Amino acid sequence: MATAVSSGPAQLTDRLLAPAWTPSRVWWVLFGISGAGTLVLAGAVAYTVATGIGVWGNNIPVAWAYAIINFVWWIGIGHAGTFISAFLLLFHQRWRSSINRVAEAMTLFALVNAGLFPLLHLGRPWFFYWLIPYPTRMGVWPQFKSALPWDAAAVATYFTVSLLFWYLGLVPDLAAARDRAPGRTRRRVYGVFALGWRGSGRQWHQYRVAYLILAGLAAPLVISVHSIVSLDFAISQLPGWHSTIFPPYFVVGAIYSGFAMVLLLLIPIRRAFQLEDIITERHLDNMAKLLLAMAWMLIYSYVVETFMAWYSGNVYERYTYLVERPFGPYAWIFWGMLTANVVVPQLFWWRRLRVSPPVLFAASLLILAGMWTERFIIIVTSLNRGFLPSSWHFYVPTWVDWSILFGSVAFFFFLFFLFLRFVPMVAISELKQQRHEASTAAAAVAAR
């Protein structure tokens, strides 16, 4: 790695911690906007809980809509962080160090958002805990044949492991922040969160082991969470849901949208904090390649799904895939989705476009929108025209649906801006270690 080491390790630490000490005016503005959006979310949620989910556009037959779309979308986005951290760590992809912290934080915040929706979408959200298998005197348990209790368990597990993984990775950096923070209060707060990290050899050893174990635990969860989420649909018998390709299809789509979100966040950060030397062109290039790879796996899923619908000869499957989606009332959303998810990533066959931040930024935005509409297509266009033509009904979201969607995006950024402000946004210790290893390797080469 030909990184220009312009400064020593101590300077690097200072530079990466600086944003935490002195927030810029831009930060305040963005924080304010996302905070206002969060208030919109809170208002819409309060209104929903107080009045009933009838304030949404849902109906019979479209009993699931925005809440579940948002849930699947956010949880999909929440896949990239752990994928980058765990998989790339296990595969010794060292370039991940520059971006894993942001990606993991993004994962957590996406999961917080995702966790909101399964609760909110219930008719009686105050009984959400009935989904959890806890022992009661009445001996009533969730029904394990349904995918939903598994879903709740999978999401909760994934959130817990992701949080632990992120926090464990943070500990050495929190210690660094403790050591350098201006003012006693901050030092104390960071000190509490640093859990007494001293940086001794023994601590480093145990840290490494724990981190690797957590990575090993997290990696299969990346696969399992969205597989189980996909079963929410696949175990049904509804045309458009009832499909065995759903687990891998959902995982691929999830990682795809997650990478898009990571890029969407990294590109402005890289620019704002002048981190071009840390988040280099190589990072962008690699991420774009991953996007392209995921896009092709997704295309494969689309093709197989549609082919199987035709090949099955089943009149309902054929109607959903070959009539309703491409030519039905939501066809414009379907074709928009294909444009965003299938056509746009083909740009990344060219290296020039892969390393161009504006192109990447725009493409990520489109892919994120495309992945949201993909869930809209899967959920709404399967439900609105089911088996009995007599029950077909159109679905239109209400202002509350839109408020909750955009409010949740605002909430996500609200949490993210808090993260930028208070937590080291790059894995400083890992980066320093890599630089050290790189420079000693360079010295060795020079000495030879």
279 binds another protein (CB under 8 A): no
Instruction: Please identify which residue in 12, 16, 30, 62 interacts with another protein, judged by CB under 8 A.
Output: 62
Instruction: Choose between 182 and 389: whose C-beta lies nearer to another protein.
Output: 389
Residue 446 within binding range of another protein, rule CB under 8 A? no
Question: Taken in order 8, 9, 15, 21, is the CA torsion positive or negative?
Answer: negative
Q: Which 8-state DSSP code applies to residue 60?
A: S
Smallest CA-to-CA distance from 284 within 358, 353, 354, 368 is with 354
Q: Does 112 bind another protein (CB under 8 A)?
A: no
Binds another protein (CB under 8 A): choice among 87, 296, 300, 387: 387
250-262 residues labelled b (16+ CB within 10 A) or e (exposed): bbbbbbbbbbbbb
- When asked if residue 58 is in the footprint of another protein (CB under 8 A), the reply is yes
Taking CB under 8 A as the criterion, which residues in 71-90 touch another protein?
none
E strands, 346-398, are: none
**Residue 135 in contact with another protein, rule: CB under 8 A:** no
Q: Contact between 339 and another protein (CB under 8 A)?
A: no
Shortest Å, Cβ 331 to another protein: 17
In this complex, which beta carbon is closest to another protein, that of residue 324 or of residue 430? 324
* Rounded distance between C-alpha atoms, residue 329 and residue 317, angstroms: 17
Residue 123 makes contact with another protein by CB under 8 A: yes
Which residue from 29, 140, 213, 322 is in contact with another protein, where contact means CB under 8 A?
Answer: 140
Using CB under 8 A as the binding rule, whether residue 311 contacts another protein is answered as no
Distances (CA, A) of 129 to 116, 119, 134: 13, 9, 9
Least distance (Å) between residue 330 CB and another protein: 15
CB neighbours of residue 396 within 10 Å:
9
Phi-psi region of 274 (alpha: psi -120 to 50; beta: other; left: phi over 0): left
Among 17, 105, 131, 225, binds another protein (CB under 8 A): 131
Sign of CA dihedral 53, 57, 61, 63: negative
Q: At its nearest, how many Å lie between another protein and the CB of residue 51? A: 7
Tokens 């929903």, residue located: 48
CB of 97 to another protein, least distance (A): 40
* 246 lies in the binding site for another protein (CB under 8 A): no
When the beta carbons of 80 and 147 are compared against another protein, the nearer one is 147
- Residue 285 CA: distances (Å) to CA of 262, 308, 385, 406: 13, 35, 42, 30
Please tell me the distance from the alpha carbon of residue 282 to that of residue 280, in angstroms, as a whole number. 5
Q: Which residues would be at the binding site for another protein (CB under 8 A)?
A: 51-54, 57-64, 121-125, 127-128, 130-131, 140-143, 145-149, 152, 232, 235-238, 315-316, 319, 383, 385-395
